């Protein structure tokens, strides 16, 4: 018996899921939803119960669900409690227990100040009342300040290991807003001192975590910059706002146990009929090992492909990006691309000179197919590097299917359009050719039979994060645009006008 489900992932992501055969139990349902929705975190499932006017109730029995149901997935927070984190930090060299929870959320738009200890909360309440009564500020003693800073550093770490200057300013401002008695008289913002103190406390907090064996902050090499401002080689820290750049092994696991799971995963991938649910579970459980190998050893892509073949399947490419960034790339990429397409095409049409001529050639192929969403998306992605001054000639490649085994050793990163042998010669900007796409990394095709160019760009972007690769030099502006404007990976939201001179 099949099931048709309306699944609420979050308010901005509601998807239709068709399951050919009803799962046997709740565990099986969760596995199917993880695979279909490309989510890598644990969650509970709720459904709209018609017995209670469609109010949400937890799913406890799979038989409670009708053939057509509306579900909502509720992420399970796996962040350690304050007491657990303190235990881990104070353990010093004891690395048997580590901060192993993966971050699930990006930095919030409005930072919520956490609760402090009972004593500090009482003192703050009294201080806030005094402010309202006679504008008397609280005399913050050393013990109160220590508790406040330690709690805030722990809360900030749940979102970022390396907050930016504006992040510290945001938290400090939120602190004095929530507790006016902590505001600093004479300061233009009322929170400048708290901001500076938070910076020092966060650095100390990372040092404690590093000593406890937390790999997320185990930065290699001496930190600093060269004369030209480029970080010294050997620094291992997030470069593109990854939430989980270098996670710890799960509690109770180590490199040896994860390697055994990796071998089992490798053997499963060799089977003709693969258990995709099992593969997804094993890829989830070996995430820490995979990131350690990729970040520390920086192996060639061909070696990663041999050891982790599942990482190059479409489902796991998107799942890995979700593990790293906490984002559903497939839905967010296409939603942003469609949202910005009209504005970008408008900009394309206004351009003149050689740049305008190239863009007009691309748009000419869209005019007759304006209702074809794939054609419009392709035109935008082909025109974007022209608009941003990138050189896409070496990036967008083309060949006939009889030449697909050609030597691509000189191509570090590229997208290959594979044309049927009987196709007439096409220009590099052809948008509507009956063809497939392939992804080239380090001279080797790693993903093929991709149905269209937008999907290939989406997969490649995820692979760059999964394999910790640099953006291709000739396409750096375009990939940075996708990161910052389409996916909002980079802190504050960025508008097209912030990047493009219109």
Give percent of the chain above pLDDT 70.
84
C-alpha distances in Å from residue 484, one per residue of 44, 246, 391, 487: 31, 22, 20, 6
The Cα 307–Cα 311 span in angstroms is 9
Q: What is the token pair recorded at 289?
A: 């090992």
- What pTM does this model have? 0.71
Question: pLDDT digits over 251-290, tens only?
Answer: 888 899 999 999 999 999 999 898 988 999 999 999 999 9
Between strands 3-10 and 13-19, the pairing is antiparallel
Find the DSSP H helices in 38-117. 82-90
**Which domains are delineated in the chain?**
3-75 (3.10.20.90), 82-213 (no CATH), 255-325 (no CATH), 329-499 (no CATH)
Q: Tell me how far apart the alpha carbons of residues 313 and 329 are, in angstroms, rounded to a whole number.
A: 15
Tens of pLDDT, residues 84-135: 333 333 333 333 233 445 677 788 888 999 999 988 898 899 988 988 888 8
Confidence (pLDDT) at 408: 85
Read off the pLDDT of each residue in 36-59 and give the average, rounded to a whole number: 80
According to DSSP, the residues that pair with 72 across neighbouring strands are 8, 46
């Amino acid at each position: 018996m099949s099931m048709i489900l309306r699944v609420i992932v979050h308010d901005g992501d509601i998807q239709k899921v068709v399951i050919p055969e009803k799962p046997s139990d709740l565990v099986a349902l969760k596995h199917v939803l993880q695979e279909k929705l490309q989510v890598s975190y644990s969650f509970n499932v709720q459904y709209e119960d018609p017995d209670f006017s469609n109010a949400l109730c937890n799913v406890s029995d799979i038989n409670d669900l009708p053939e057509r149901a509306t579900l909502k997935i509720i992420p399970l927070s796996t962040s350690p409690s304050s007491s657990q984190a303190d235990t881990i930090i104070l353990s010093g060299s004891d690395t048997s227990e580590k901060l192993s929870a993966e971050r699930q959320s990006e930095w919030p738009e409005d930072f919520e100040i956490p609760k402090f200890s009972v004593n500090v909360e009482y003192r703050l309440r009294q201080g806030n009342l005094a402010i309202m009564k006679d504008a008397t500020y609280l005399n913050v003693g050393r013990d109160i300040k220590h508790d406040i800073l330690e709690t805030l550093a722990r809360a900030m770490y749940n979102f970022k290991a390396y907050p930016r200057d504006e992040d510290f300013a945001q938290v400090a401002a939120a602190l004095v807003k929530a507790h006016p008695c902590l505001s600093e008289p004479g300061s233009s913002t009322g929170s400048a001192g708290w901001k500076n103190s938070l910076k020092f406390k966060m650095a100390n907090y990372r040092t404690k975590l590093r000593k406890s064996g937390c790999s997320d902050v185990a930065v290699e090499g001496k930190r600093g910059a060269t004369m030209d401002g480029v970080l010294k080689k050997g620094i291992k820290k997030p470069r593109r706002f990854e939430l989980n750049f270098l996670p710890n092994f799960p509690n109770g696991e180590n490199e040896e146990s994860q390697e055994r799971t990796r071998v089992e995963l490798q053997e499963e991938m060799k089977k003709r009929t693969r258990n995709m649910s099992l593969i997804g579970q094993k890829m989830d459980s070996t995430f820490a090992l995979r990131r350690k190998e990729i970040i520390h050893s920086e192996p060639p892509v061909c070696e990663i492909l041999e050891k982790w073949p599942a990482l190059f399947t479409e489902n796991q490419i998107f799942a890995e990006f979700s593990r790293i960034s906490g984002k559903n790339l497939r839905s967010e990429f296409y939603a942003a691309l469609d949202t910005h397409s009209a504005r970008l095409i408008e900009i394309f049409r206004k351009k003149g000179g050689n740049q305008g001529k190239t863009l007009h050639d691309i748009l000419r192929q869209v005019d007759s197919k304006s209702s074809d969403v794939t054609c419009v998306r392709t035109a935008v992605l082909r025109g974007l590097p022209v608009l941003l001054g990138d050189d896409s000639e070496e990036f967008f490649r083309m060949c006939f299917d009889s030449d697909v085994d050609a030597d691509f050793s000189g191509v570090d990163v590229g997208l290959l359009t594979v044309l049927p042998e009987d196709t007439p010669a096409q220009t590099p900007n052809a948008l509507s050719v009956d063809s497939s796409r392939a992804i080239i990394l380090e001279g080797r095709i790693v993903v093929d039979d991709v149905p269209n160019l937008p999907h290939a760009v989406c997969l490649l972007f995820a692979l760059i994060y999964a394999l910790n690769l640099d953006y291709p030099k000739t396409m750096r502006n375009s990939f940075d645009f996708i990161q910052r404007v389409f996916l909002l990976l980079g802190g504050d939201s960025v508008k097209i006008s912030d990047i493009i001179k219109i």
